[in-house]
Structure 1
Amino acid sequence: MTTVSFSNKNMTRICYMLMSVPLLVAVTANETPQQVVTRYNNYKAICDGMGFQNVRCKDPVAFQSSLTKKLQYLKNQETVIFDKVSLNEGKAYDNTSGIFTAPFDGIYSFTWTILTTAGKYFLTEIVLNGKKVVLNYIDGRGRDGNSMSTSHANIKMKKGDKVWIRTCDTTGQFAHADWCFFSGSKL
């Protein structure tokens, strides 16, 4: 006796194939719309019985934001609010609070960039529900021109979890307007 195992990906393909068969048959057999729906529901019941779960169509979640004014001398753990939003698919980023709220469970990818000027620095971290995940440190002290730093984090989130950028461990001294960005998307 031979045992065959299927991965979730293969099960998904099999179920999609089974559910598409009634549509192909309907075209050639001239079935009524009600007959096609009944046949589809029968195949769907088979897939459900095999443990296949409905696959939600991918809802796009992505945002891109930037600063419109320079930031100076922020307090420790003060939220950095990227107030200019150029993209907000899924409306999960709030530009008045600077907080991204996950609309679905999943893995989200975040990137933020900070530009400071000569002689200044700016230390930030991305936090998940208030807990530090990744740091970003940009130090322009001892330099003649501007300095820029970008950090990235992939974060597993549950629906309703919150992520934001805040200063950490010290007072942020200076961040340029129009050159600082915060973006994210659901993978």
Structure 2
Amino acid sequence: MSVLEQAIFADGVNAKERDGQSSVRIDATNAEPVPMAGPVPAAGPGHKAGPVRKDATFSNSESTEVPSEDSVVQIRRPSLMRAIPSSSIVAFHSELSNSVGVRTGNIVVYDHETLDEGHAYSPHDGIYTVPVSGIYVIVWETFASFHSYIQTFLVVNGAKRGSSFSDAQEAHDIHLVSSLVVLRLHQGDHVVIQVGRTSEINATMYGYSGYSARPTFSGWKLF
């Protein structure tokens, strides 16, 4: 063995002695289970217990350590607050109790109120005052009497927002027309049904409870 080889061999032996362990690789798949250690022998009379670490146990009241952000588990729960509606139910329905004579420009007064959630319709003047801003559905029905026609408009603050035309001129019968408008209304708006053109100066808007043939005016807030 050359001098260089002897030096390399001697250095390797010294390294193993310093480490105090062999360089054998252990395959974890074939490793034998390690038996558990037996009970810890009781301390003798002269044994003194070492100092107890304050952080050895977990205590909500005594722990003064502030955990780092990496060690804190962030628990995010869905909000338990329910969505509160901006208003309660808003809806109304009124109808004509009897046939009435109408002429161009008249506001139709549906005098028999059957529903008014929001207390916004007046059966005395036919005006619906919007209680809460939102999207509304407005529906109205018109009956033209025998051999006549009646045009009506949905009017909001003086502006026409919808129309209908009930024509019974060519029939010896009453004629029903129903109209529906979806629109945005604002609190305080005035909504009415106004008469447009008619076949006579004083046309008759038919209303007869015996046949459930009553002109109606209804509406409700969608959202």
TM-score w.r.t. the length of structure 1 is: 0.68
Partner of 2:194: 166
5+ unaligned residues in a row in structure 2: which ranges?
1-76
Partner of 2:34: none
Compute the displacement of 1:146 (Å).
Answer: 1.5
Q: CA–CA distance in 2 between the matches of 1:17 and 1:183?
A: 40
Equivalent residue letter for 2:130: A
- Deviating beyond 4 angstroms after TM superposition, the runs of 4 or more aligned structure 1 residues are none
Task: Specify whether residues 88 and 139 from structure 1 end up closer, same or farther in structure 2 by C-alpha distance, changes over 3 A only.
Answer: same
| Larger RCO (CA under 8 A, 6+ residues apart) | 1
Partner of 1:43: none
Indicate the SS of the match to 1:167.
Answer: strand
Equivalent residue letter for 1:103: P
Partner of 2:173: 145
Decide which moves more: 103-112 or 161-170. Answer: 161-170
Partner of 1:113: 141
Task: Specify whether residues 172 and 137 from structure 1 end up closer, same or farther in structure 2 by C-alpha distance, changes over 3 A only.
Answer: farther
Decide which moves more: 165-174 or 118-127. Answer: 165-174
Partner of 1:34: none
Q: CA–CA distance in 1 between the matches of 2:78 and 2:156?
A: 40
Q: CA–CA distance in 2 between the matches of 1:121 and 1:172?
A: 11
Compute the displacement of 1:57 (Å).
Answer: 5.0
Q: 1:119·1:143 contact (CA, 8 Å) conserved in 2?
A: yes
TM-score w.r.t. the length of structure 2 is: 0.58
Partner of 2:9: none
Q: CA–CA distance in 2 between the matches of 1:119 and 1:172?
A: 13
Partner of 2:124: 96
Partner of 1:18: 79
Compute the displacement of 1:58 (Å).
Answer: 4.0
CA RMSD of aligned residues (A): 1.9
Q: Which of 91, 96, 104 matches 1:76?
A: 104
Cα deviation code 1:42-89 (max 9, x no counterpart)? xxxxxxxxxxxx7435411111110012122x2322100000011111
Q: CA–CA distance in 2 between the matches of 1:118 and 1:96?
A: 27
Partner of 2:216: 181
* Structure with greater helix share of residues: 1
Q: 1:122·1:172 contact (CA, 8 Å) conserved in 2?
A: no
Indicate the SS of the match to 1:94.
Answer: coil
* Structure with greater strand share of residues: 1
Q: 2:103·2:203 contact (CA, 8 Å) conserved in 1?
A: no
Q: 1:113·1:150 contact (CA, 8 Å) conserved in 2?
A: yes
Q: Identity, % of aligned pairs? A: 28
Q: 1:67·1:81 contact (CA, 8 Å) conserved in 2?
A: yes
Cα deviation code 1:108-135 (max 9, x no counterpart)? 1110111122201111100011110111
Decide which moves more: 161-170 or 149-158. Answer: 161-170
